[in-house]
Amino acid sequence: MAMEHPAPATAEPPNGRQALPASALQAPHGALADCVRAFFWRDLGRQPPHTPADTRVPPSPYPGIIWLTRGTARLVECAGATTAAALPAITLSGAHRHPYHSVSSRDGDSFCLAFQPGALGLLTGQDLAPLTDRITDAVTWLPEEWHPFLAAVHAAPDHGARQALCVDFLAPRWAAVADRHAAWLQVLHQAWQRGARQALASTLDWTLRHLQRRTRQLTGLRPGEIERMLRAEHALLAMRDGYAGALDAALRHGYADQAHFSREARALFERPPAALKAHTQRPGDDADWLLRRS
């Protein structure tokens, strides 16, 4: 999803290509939308000097790979505690129950690939539960067959090329996963709601307890936690897009009342719904990036 007020490009585009905005968030097209939540990049070197150099990611069910292509970055908050750790050039983040907070150098340039809940676990066959509320070196964690892809994205000349490399790498692999695990996609399409989870368990002839264990392995979270995070996000997106007030968004997305929705927004995004809507419309503000307009 691209930001509503992209910062102007100040560098010449390589090879005659059209210049990309210095900071943007874009959703993938077609079948890859079931695999990738978004591509996000942020080039501080091409933004005004007063642009905040920190990034605060709210609790989220989306694991992600972050390539630091220029500059340095350090993690200052993770898993509900302060920390001080230099981030590697290629970072892997798991699903998060707590926000995490990083600070980049003024010349920092980064590119992020955020996965839909369960997609990375299905693609790699790894148990993602140990990655919950963690930030780690992607090269150490991910399978060896992913390493050339990780290196190629890091070495790419610009973020447009990085996005294309991600699509080329993931599309055939995700097509094979989607064929084998079509039932899981129905849960994603229905935002992990309880009824969809029960239908999945019935289709696979699993107990609900086994489904919970398998969901923890694939996503790092309990099914109800994913549903809670997605419900709040979707209700806030309905407000952001202008067709719903806070009460209407709350009722449409299954909240008992507006107060319940407001409490959830504060718990997950640290602001009430109306303040979040205004916050995501500020030019050049990269906070709450998941709520930015595509």
What tens digit of pLDDT does each residue of 148-163 get?
999 999 999 999 999 9
pLDDT band at 4 (very low <50, low <70, confident <90, very high): very low
CA 72/CA 86 separation, integer angstroms: 8
Of 9-13, 37-41, 48-52, 56-60, minimum mean pLDDT range: 9-13
Contact 237, 291 (CB under 8 A): yes
State pTM to two decimals.
0.91
What pLDDT was estimated at residue 189? 92
What pLDDT was estimated at residue 287? 55
Of the candidates 37, 43, 41, which has an alpha carbon nearest to the alpha carbon of residue 70?
43
What pLDDT was estimated at residue 293? 60
Mean residue pLDDT across the chain: 89
Contact 2, 42 (CB under 8 A): no
Which is higher by pLDDT, 248 or 293? 248
- The token pair at 135 is 């930030």
What pLDDT was estimated at residue 134? 97
What's the rounded mean pLDDT across residues 225-231?
96
pLDDT band at 207 (very low <50, low <70, confident <90, very high): very high
Q: Say yes or no to pLDDT of 267 above 80.
A: yes
Q: Say yes or no to pLDDT of 3 above 90.
A: no
pLDDT band at 133 (very low <50, low <70, confident <90, very high): very high
pLDDT band at 12 (very low <50, low <70, confident <90, very high): very low
Query: What's the CA dihedral at 225, 120, 28, 194 to 10 degrees?
Result: -30
What pLDDT was estimated at residue 282? 67
What pLDDT was estimated at residue 2? 29
What pLDDT was estimated at residue 1? 28
Q: Say yes or no to pLDDT of 280 above 80.
A: no
Q: Say yes or no to pLDDT of 271 above 60.
A: yes
Of the candidates 10, 29, 4, 57, which has an alpha carbon nearest to the alpha carbon of residue 170?
29
The sign of the CA dihedral 140, 143, 148, 151 is negative
pLDDT band at 6 (very low <50, low <70, confident <90, very high): very low
What pLDDT was estimated at residue 41? 92
CA 263/CA 206 separation, integer angstroms: 34
Q: Say yes or no to pLDDT of 127 above 80.
A: yes
Helices (H) and strands (E) in the chain, counts: 11, 10
